[in-house]
Chains A and B, each alone.
Chain A
Amino acid sequence: GQSLEQPSEVTAVEGAIVQINCTYQTSGFYGLSWYQQHDGGAPTFLSYNGLDGLEETGRFSSFLSRSDSYGYLLLQELQMKDSASYFCAVEGQLTFGSGTQLTVLP
């Protein structure tokens, strides 16, 4: 089967940097995606890693190591609006992690 592990909660202060890790076990792997979901809202796409390495999109970066079955989402210069749930997802099997609730404190 497929499974993804990510921390359930992370707390950080405004302006800080936070890293959300994701480890996965899948029978077929094509890439790792990250989604953001605010309370009451729909998930929105943040980034995708199909190859090893770092992808940068503004304040957000995502990293993948296929040999370690591991990836992370890095959020820099945290803002209050970044408080949300973050999900990693294995696209080949359309499997999502259980989500990490990020709380940004003033």
Chain B
Amino acid sequence: KAGVTQTPRYLIKTRGQQVTLSCSPISGHRSVSWYQQTPGQGLQFLFEYFSETQRNKGNFPGRFSGRQFSNSRSEMNVSTLELGDSALYLCASSLGTGTSYEQYFGPGTRLTVT
């Protein structure tokens, strides 16, 4: 079974631009979560989608948004990019939402904002 895939793997953008990242979960997984990882802040939860509905949201500004499609694929959008948005963006999929479901992470998208 194929793992979680994320595209693109690397991205360079300039301040003020917007960016869309894509995540394809493991087949059969209906939950997709997004995380931002930076050296100083560790893994920060952005949001979780389950069956096309946002189930949870972290403490990020409204510039960060996401959506999930009927095939469980998910996209994350960041508008008006800031230098501080430079990070590794990870998505993770799981069979269900909540407690004991193991999350499977993709390789991440490395975003650099200049």
In the complex, which residue of chain A has the Cβ closest to the Cβ of B33?
Answer: A94
- Residue interface bits A49-91, CB-to-B below 8 A is 1, else 0: 0100000000000000000000000000000000000010101
Residue among A43, A44, A99 with the most chain B CB within 10 A?
A43
In the assembled complex, the Cα of A87 lies from the Cα of B102 at a distance in Å of: 14
Chain A-chain B contacts (Cβ-Cβ < 8 Å), number: 56
In the complex, which residue of chain B has the Cβ closest to the Cβ of A1?
Answer: B59
- The answer to whether B43 touches A43 (Cβ under 8 A) is yes
- The answer to whether A96 touches B103 (Cβ under 8 A) is no
In the assembled complex, the Cα of A87 lies from the Cα of B35 at a distance in Å of: 13
B70 part of interface (Cβ distance < 8 Å): no
Near A by CB (< 8 A), chain B positions 60-114 give: 90, 92, 98-108
In the assembled complex, the Cα of A9 lies from the Cα of B96 at a distance in Å of: 33
Measured CB to CB, the closest approach of chain A to B35, in angstroms, equals 7
Question: CB-CB < 8 A to B102: which residues of A?
Answer: 33, 45, 48
Q: Could you list which residues of chain A lie within 8 angstroms of chain B, going by C-beta atoms? A: 30-31, 33, 35, 41-45, 48, 50, 87, 89, 91-99
Q: Could you list which residues of chain B lie within 8 angstroms of chain A, going by C-beta atoms? A: 4, 33, 35, 41-45, 48, 56, 58, 90, 92, 98-108
